[in-house]
A and B are shown apart, each in its own frame.
Chain A
Amino acid sequence: MQDHYDRLGLSPGATPAEIKAAYHAKLKEFPAHSHPQDFKAIRAAYEALRKAPRAEDDFFAEVPVQAELDPALLDQLQQRAIAAVDVTLEDLIRLTF
């Protein structure tokens, strides 16, 4: 994640508006037609940051899990995370020749 922020010259916690402005500024520096490799990296960073959870709900990354967190909710989140990983693994296996 930090890489993506660096790529666009941002620091974590940048707002969506800041992310977009930084992306546009980089596009001017590295247009697709003349700098395809840089363009792809900038685009990848933008897509990752745009889809990333915003800093305010990204507390897992920033703060250690708090004791007062509802254990049921935590359990649910964990299940969801496992399910997500499961799907990708399975997908990979499915994609056989």
Chain B
Amino acid sequence: MGQIVGIDLGTTNSIIAALEDGQPWVIPDEDGTVLLPSYVGMSDSGQLLVGQSAWRQYAAAPDRTVKSIKRQMGTDFTVTLGDRTYRPQEISAIILRSLKQRAEAMLEDEVTQAVITVPAYFTDAQRQATKEAGEIAGFEVLQILNEPTAAALVFDLDSEDSETVLVYDLGGGTFDVSIVEITGDVTEVLASHGNNRLGGDDFDRQLQRYLTDRFRQLHDTEVPNDAATQARLLQAAEQAKIALSEHAFTTVREPFLVSQGETALHLETDVAREDFENLIKPLLKETLDAIDRALSDADMTPDDIDRAILVGGSTRIPLVQNLVEGHLPDTPVSSFEPDLCVGMGAALQAGVLSGAAVDSILVDVSPHSLGIAAMMDTALGPMPGMFSTIIPRNSVIPTSQSQIYSTAADGQQIVEIEVFQGENPVAKENVPLGAFRIEGIPPKPAGVVQVEVHFDFDINGILTVTATEKGKGQQQSLVVNDTKTERLSSHELRQSRDAIASLFGALPLFDAEGDDGEWEDVDVEAEDQE
């Protein structure tokens, strides 16, 4: 059997980690770099580019480069590279495949099984797409693990007593907050909340808009809306953002940004940290609200939190640290391997699953409520299409829950079970997961026929719904989200896998031969595919 790895598939950066003597270590590429930028591109000669090389060509070729694909996971978005269109899970699979190659080269062994992390607040479809990405890349995905939970597995506690830790994870594309109780080697998640579309990408976009305004003020002309110019601006924005974590001011210089007849127009402007902070404050306020929501779901107050731990590249922004500290007075707030701990935790969990000598017990929750559409009494009388929760959010998984319903109309012979995930009291406002019917119910007066709806939710987020009509004992069930029955057929999966594999086989990975500049220092930028 080959090696088992943990993978943090990030919006901006991805890493792969393995266990050695029970300790996780992050596997570097040949140059010793551990972070793989989550960029995929095609060179002008049709060569596949992954990571730094794709990142480098970005500003020059935004139309041939994909970034932040994680934000599209679980949607039917597609992107064209070369002569083929790719679904988000296929682009992610290219990143995963590149990490797999790196690990196999370094470990000199086959790597076939992986634990892959996702934001805790990822929905069902997003998790499923991630699992598919892993399979397309040629992995057996042992578990889809929540990122803040993975991070919590890595913390070393010095005391034997329980410690309650708040994990605040703000990355490139997503935000999660989890409240975790750690007792010896038992790590128990009490509640998670988050936002799947909040992260460094949004801060970059705010600053990009700000720079656009500045340019207009300086030159009395608009910045053209073409992809390449916008990509340069966005990249300048990200670099300015990172500089402002260290300095109170930074200067943005983009020479020859726009040509106006014979003259070239440059962008050169100072940005103060305070200006940037004002741009992102409203977004950060949302993260504080999420902390409160997680606390209340865990039945806790800030006083119950022993310490807060900041994870993710965006927590390097001083304002983020200040706001969290201000929001949790009396709680020590610290950073902990903000780029690496999620991947390291995934490797630890991979070790646990493979039976390696790792003493670590994990109890996790599902942050979204699950239920069905039903007629319910409201202030306005009985209303159809309300959301009746069967598994409340932040239930420990795996879990099984049942609820009994009865027919709403006289002589009703068909019952439709529509399954949703979300928190809105109106069913249709939530994410639909599937539907099925029970037919041939004996006609009886309303309310007489009872149907028991049973939800079984497993550790990987696979939901099995069974409805049983109590009288005749008719039973129908639906497996939501099982790769074998849903979304991609195994045939489609195989096709994707072969296509991606041939991309790697036929076209050598360009990464290793690329120029040797440190990618952080290279002056190119990326286009957002949204």
Task: List the interface of chain A (C-beta within 8 A of B).
Answer: 20, 24, 27-28, 31-33, 36, 39-40, 43, 92-97
Residues of A contacting B397 in the complex (Cβ-Cβ under 8 angstroms): 32
A32 CA to B447 CA, complexed, in Å: 38
Assuming A32-B397, A36-B459, is B374 touching A96 (CB within 8 A)? yes
A33 touches B459 (CB 8 A): yes
- Convert B298-323 into 0s and 1s, putting 1 for each residue whose CB lies closer than 8 angstroms to a CB of A: 00000000000000000000000000
B446 touches A96 (CB 8 A): yes
Judging by beta carbons under 8 Å apart, are B398 and A36 in contact?
yes
Q: Report the minimal beta-carbon distance from B325 to chain A, rounded to whole angstroms.
A: 30
B476 contacts partner chain A, Cβ-Cβ < 8 Å: no
Closest CB in chain B relative to A62 CB, distance in Å: 27
Judged by DSSP, the binding face of A is helix
Count A-B pairs with CB separation below 8 Å: 67
Bound-state CA distance A93–B412 (Å) is: 16
Residue of B nearest to A27 (CB): B361
Docked complex Cα distance between A36 and B457 (Å): 10
B507 close to A (CB within 8 Å)? no
Q: Are B447 and A96 in contact (CB under 8 A)?
A: yes
- In the complex, which residues of chain B have a beta carbon less than 8 angstroms from the beta carbon of A28? 186, 361
Smallest beta-carbon distance B413→chain A, Å: 12
Majority DSSP secondary structure for residues of B touching A: strand
Q: Is the CB of B407 within 8 A of A96?
A: yes
At the interface, yes or no: B424 with Cβ under 8 Å from chain A? no
Q: Which residues of B sit under 8 angstroms from A92, Cβ to Cβ?
A: 404
Given known pairs A24-B186, A96-B447, the reply for A33 and B353 (CB within 8 Å) is: yes
Q: How far is B198's CA from A91's CA once the two chains are assembled, in angstroms?
A: 37
**Given A27-B186, A31-B361, A33-B459, CB of A39 within 8 Å of CB of B398:** yes
**Given A27-B361, A32-B362, are A40 and B399 neighbors across the interface (CB < 8 Å)?**
yes
20 extra interchain contacts, Cβ-Cβ under 8 A, other than A28-B186, A96-B376, A96-B446?
A: A24-B183, A27-B186, A27-B363, A28-B361, A32-B363, A32-B459, A33-B143, A33-B352, A33-B362, A36-B458, A36-B459, A39-B398, A43-B396, A95-B388, A95-B405, A96-B374, A97-B406, A97-B407, A97-B416, A97-B451
Cβ-neighbour of A24 out of B184, B376, B388, B412 (below 8 A): B184
Which of A24, A28, A93, A97 has its CB near the most chain B CB atoms (within 10 A)? A97
Assess whether A97 is in contact with B375, with CB atoms less than 8 Å apart. Answer: yes
- Interface: B31 (CB within 8 A): no
A40 to B363 Cα, complex, angstroms: 11
Provide the residues of chain A in CB contact with B79, threshold 8 Å.
none
Expressed in whole angstroms, the Cα–Cα distance for A40 and B186 within the complex equals 16
Given the complex, which residues of B lie within 8 Å of A20, measured CB to CB? 183
28 contacts between A and B (CB under 8 A): A20-B183, A24-B183, A27-B186, A27-B361, A27-B363, A28-B186, A31-B352, A32-B363, A32-B397, A32-B398, A33-B143, A33-B353, A33-B459, A36-B458, A39-B398, A40-B399, A40-B400, A92-B404, A94-B382, A95-B376, A95-B388, A96-B382, A96-B407, A96-B408, A96-B446, A97-B407, A97-B416, A97-B451
C-alpha spacing A27/B364, complex, angstroms: 12
State the CA gap A24–B186 with chains docked (Å).
7
Candidates B186, B374, B459; contact of A95 at CB < 8 Å: B374
- The answer to the question of B85 belonging to the interface, with a C-beta cut-off of 8 Å to chain A, is no
Contact B404 A97 (CB under 8 A): no
| Interface members, chain B 332-365 (any A CB < 8 Å) | 352-353, 361-364
Chain B 356-400 interface mask (CB, 8 Å, partner A; 1/0): 000001111000000000111100001000001000000011111
Cβ of B459: which chain A residues have Cβ within 8 Å of it? 32-33, 36
Q: Report the nearest A residue to B378, measured CB to CB.
A: A94
CB <8 Å contact, B408 and A97: yes
**Residue among A33, A43, A93 making CB contact with B447, cutoff 8 Å:** A93
Determine the residue in chain A with the shortest Cβ distance to B142.
Answer: A33
Q: Does any Cβ of A come within 8 Å of B269's Cβ?
A: no
Min C-beta distance of B166 to chain A, whole Å? 20
The residue in B361, B375, B400, B404 that gathers the most chain A C-beta atoms within 10 A of its C-beta is B361
Closest to A35 in B: B398
A39 to B416, CA, bound (A): 31
Residue B403 CB within 8 A of the other chain: yes
